[in-house]
């Protein structure tokens, strides 16, 4: 099986396997750095308590505790759950450069980070709902 290979840190998945595993919309966002429409995505106004994980590999990314309403129409967070689970990459556009946020394990595109977030970090992690799955917090479990 070469479709997927884990070297202890990074998950290497073949393009063919990503196409099989993701919906066409997810593939566009997660593998081709696309952006889903604002206000027309699953999590922008979502208020349940739990953990958002990478839709590509299940790595925990954000807690609902750090989610806030940024008014942008995309799910926004001021801090990742574990700093090492997200990786930053310069995304050079035609008019400006932004910082892209990708999953540290499978390399899928998640969204972008901006410096106009709320306290205490002043960061805004602007995520795509398509890049994440949600795991509801169990009443008795403490994470």
Query: CB of 30: closest distance to Zn ion in angstroms?
Result: 9
Burial tier of 85 (Cβ tally within 10 Å: 0-12, 13-18, 19+)? middle
Indicate which residues carry an active-site annotation: 126
* CB nearer Zn ion, residue 108 or residue 130: 108
Residues forming the site for Zn ion (CB under 5 A) = 54, 56-57, 59, 103, 105-106, 108
Strand ranges (E), the chain = 4-6, 11-13, 50-54, 60-63, 67-68, 76-77, 86-92, 97-103, 109-114, 124-127, 132-136
Query: CB of 57: closest distance to Zn ion in angstroms?
Result: 3
* CB nearer Zn ion, residue 64 or residue 131: 131
Query: CB of 46: closest distance to Zn ion in angstroms?
Result: 20
Nearest to 85 by CA among 117, 51, 62, 114: 62
Burial tier of 37 (Cβ tally within 10 Å: 0-12, 13-18, 19+)? exposed
* CB nearer Zn ion, residue 67 or residue 109: 109
């Amino acid at each position: 099986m070469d479709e997927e290979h884990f070297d202890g840190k990074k998950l290497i998945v073949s393009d063919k396997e990503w196409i099989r595993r993701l919906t066409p919309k997810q593939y566009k966002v997660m593998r081709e750095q696309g952006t889903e429409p604002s206000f027309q995505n699953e999590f922008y106004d979502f208020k349940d308590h739990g953990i958002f994980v990478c839709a590509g590999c299940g790595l925990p990314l954000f807690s609902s505790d750090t989610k806030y309403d940024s008014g942008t129409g995309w799910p926004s967070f001021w801090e990742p759950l574990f700093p090492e689970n997200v990786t930053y990459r310069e995304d050079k556009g035609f008019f400006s450069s932004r910082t892209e946020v990708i999953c540290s394990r499978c390399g899928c595109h998640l969204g972008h980070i901006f410096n106009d977030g709320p306290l205490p970090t002043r960061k805004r992690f602007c995520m795509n709902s398509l890049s994440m799955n949600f795991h509801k917090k169990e009443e008795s479990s403490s994470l």
